[in-house]
Structures are given as structure tokens and as C-alpha cells.
Amino acid sequence: LHAADSRHQLSMGIPMALVLCFAASEIVAVLYGPNYAVSAHFLRVLAITNFMWTLISVGFWLSVSLGHQSINFRFSVIQAIILVIVATPLTILYGSTGTLTGVVIAMSVALILYSRYTLRTVSLSLNETFLRTGFSAIVTICVLSILVWQINTFAMGAIFKLLLIMTTTALTFGICVFL
């Protein structure tokens, strides 16, 4: 596993997650119409877990390629326990929002476990592997935050907003990560 391999994998997953997160309202409006506008919040949370999975999958596939199936089993059991102990009561108390919160917590723990496993198993430098990609993600988040704040002040169609967010994400992230 090379730092460039991880960076390329992250470079595909991060922009997709950012578009889903920042354009959730537009995606729901285009695909399902105004009756489902409330579900955009759920799409945003799922985008965050999708982003986490992008990072987790580096460690997951590393463990598969090295034949360390026991690592995946242990981490899956830990996630399942967290889901039962945390997500179940949150679901009972807060409904679907509680479920999503429990899933984010379980994914966060998996992210920590797989990141530790990856960095201990392969001699990857944090700087070399994640610095440029992380910087690119932060810059893109800042640009998208300003863009979404600005375009919400104008009357534009959902498709135009979606295309604008997608294009801005691709250009900003691409320029930052590959230059």
C-alpha cells in the first residue's frame, strides 16, 4: 500500500460525499420532489457515513489483502455492540435521528480502529497520506459553504444549484489535491 493509492481512493470518495452533503436538498428536490424535502437531512448524515467508509475501506481492504480476517471480524463485532448499546436506546428516544446518531458513532469508532490498524501495519506517513487530501477537503468545504450560502439567496432551480455544487466541488478539490 502506497500513500498515493490511499490518496487516489480518498480523492474519489471525498468529492462524492461532499456533493451529497452540500447538495442534499437539491438532490432530493430533483429526484423526489418537494414532498420529501425533510429527508435531505438524512441524506446529509448518510453522506458523512459514506465519507467515513471511504477512509475505513483503506484499512478494511488492507486487512483483506494481508489475510487478517480476524481484524475485520473483531471490528465488526465492536461496531455491532455499539449499534445495539448506543443506537437502540437513541432510536427509542429520538426515532430515526437517534438511529442515524448511533450509526455515526459506530462508524466513528470503526474509523479510529481501522486508521490505527492501517498506520501500524504499513509504514505510511500521515503527512504523505492524508495532509494534501485533508487540506483539499477543508478548502472545498469552505468554498462550498460560501457557495451554498450565496446561492440560497437567489431564486435558482434545483438542477442548476446541483450542477453548480457538483462543478465547484470537482474543480476546487481537483485543483487542490492534484497540484
What's the predicted TM-score (pTM) here?
0.75
CA atoms within 13 A on the CB side of 103: 16
Walk along the chain (179 residues) and give the pLDDT tens digit of each residue: 554 555 565 677 889 889 999 999 999 999 999 999 999 999 999 898 888 888 888 888 888 999 998 999 999 999 999 999 999 999 999 999 999 999 999 999 999 999 888 888 887 666 666 778 888 899 999 999 999 999 887 888 889 999 999 999 999 998 988 87
